[in-house]
Amino acid sequence: MSATAKNTSGASSTKAGKPVVRFIDLFCGLGGFHLATKAAARGHGVKAECVFASDIDKNCRKVYAGNFQMAPDGDITQIEAKDVADHELLLAGFPCQPFSIIGQRKGFEDTRGTLFFDIARILEAKRPEAFVLENVRMLQGHNGGRTIARIMETLKELGYYAEYRVLNALDFGLPQKRQRVFIVGFRNGGEFVWPEGDVPMKPLSKVLEKEVDRKHYASERIRQNRLAKHDPTPELTIWHENKSGNVKARPYSSALRAGASYNYLLVNGERRLTPREMLRLQGFPDSYKQVCSDHQTRKQAGNSLPVPVATAVLNSVFETVGWTGRNG
């Protein structure tokens, strides 16, 4: 990171004898960032309290409330920045809608019309100590790299030291090849160290359910189509059929997708992933409640971020800012 000054400001207050880090969860979805922040806080001996969450999707709001006992607000574009609770940490897995950032003016007005603009206006108004943003890998190369460059320029103009990196869930213990851009930023700078992600991959046998309902099996026609393109494998594999119709069998999943064909990924070329398996592939614990229908849960899981990756990033954020209740 370009700045070298260490931020030792600590968290906002104390609660039950521990410092408290207040965070907001924008575009909250299933709450992957929420789980990751709580895990990072526990590891650093502090408390983390979500003071605001929002999502435009009513089903996401429903499942978030069912798991975290707080009802998120709705469309963030309709919420004034002054009405967002004060916080030390901003989190946002902002949707990857098309960008048309041209950079003709100074400041973040260039980004108006994108959902990144709503992050920028809250950062300007609330001045949290740190933020973590997440988006799809393609953001890095969108518009010849000009989009990510404009985002980083905007964050700098807002007074934050920021950097980004593409991280892969496969490197953080999940059997899913899921590459995502993470952007971290600090109001007072600091020496941020990106996590290496050298965690051994959990085998599919630890993720896939032993018995599943017949409704998850593909039709005989689809199964025969897969077998015509790939031989059966003795070990557990997840078969991925790409847009060209080519099939590959791997000991891990290709990236889950919200809008992909129901038959995009098949376990051993035979059946679809269950909603619980999809949640596990994203790092959600089995204690996480499936509140919505199978269809909605598949969509939500496909849109979610990988929790262990976010946790590793947030661990480094806590270290950089100095949010710790540990002695020594």
For 125-139, the pLDDT digits (tens) are 999 999 999 998 988
Residue 6 pLDDT level (bands cut at 50, 70, 90): very low
Residue 7 pLDDT level (bands cut at 50, 70, 90): very low
Task: Give the percent of the chain with pLDDT over 70.
Answer: 88
Per-residue pLDDT at 19: 85
- Cα angle value 151/152/154 (rounded, 5°): 65
Tell me if 73 sits within 8 A of 57, measured CB to CB: no
The reply to whether CATH 3.40.50.720 applies to domain 13-197+304-321 is no
**pLDDT(145) > 60:** yes
Q: Which of 29, 43, 22, 182 has its CA nearest to residue 87?
A: 22
Radius of gyration from C-alpha coordinates of the chain: 21
Tell me if 192 sits within 8 A of 317, measured CB to CB: yes
Per-residue pLDDT at 9: 44
Please say whether the dihedral angle defined by the alpha carbons of residues 235, 268, 170 and 42, taken in this order, is positive or negative: negative
250 DSSP β-pair partners: 238
- Cα angle value 305/311/315 (rounded, 5°): 145
**Tokens found for residue 18:** 């521990």
The reply to whether CATH 1.10.4160 applies to domain 204-302 is no
Least confident segment among 41-45, 49-53, 71-75, 110-114: 110-114
**pLDDT(5) > 50:** no
Please give the residue that has the higher pLDDT: either 28 or 5.
28
Q: What confidence tens digit (pLDDT) does each residue in 47-63 have? A: 999 999 999 999 999 99
Residue 162 pLDDT level (bands cut at 50, 70, 90): very high
Per-residue pLDDT at 97: 62
Per-residue pLDDT, averaged over 218-241, amounts to 95
Distance CA 33, CA 36 (A): 5
* Mean pLDDT, rounded, of the chain: 90
Q: Tell me which H or E stretch contains 216.
A: none
Distance CA 153, CA 102 (A): 12
Residue 63: Cβ-neighbour burial (10 angstroms; 0-12, 13-18, 19+): buried
CATH 3.90.120 domain locations along the chain:
204-302
Q: Tell me which H or E stretch contains 314.
A: helix 307-321
Per-residue pLDDT at 108: 55
Residue 114 pLDDT level (bands cut at 50, 70, 90): confident
Q: What confidence tens digit (pLDDT) does each residue in 236-294 have? A: 999 999 888 999 999 999 999 987 777 899 999 999 999 999 999 999 999 999 999 99
Distance CA 167, CA 151 (A): 18
Task: Give the percent of the chain with pLDDT over 90.
Answer: 77
Per-residue pLDDT, averaged over 227-231, amounts to 95
Q: What confidence tens digit (pLDDT) does each residue in 66-103 have? A: 999 999 999 999 999 999 999 999 999 988 666 655 45
Tell me if 246 sits within 8 A of 287, measured CB to CB: no
Catalytic residues: 96
Per-residue pLDDT at 260: 74
CATH 3.40.50.150 domain locations along the chain:
13-197+304-321
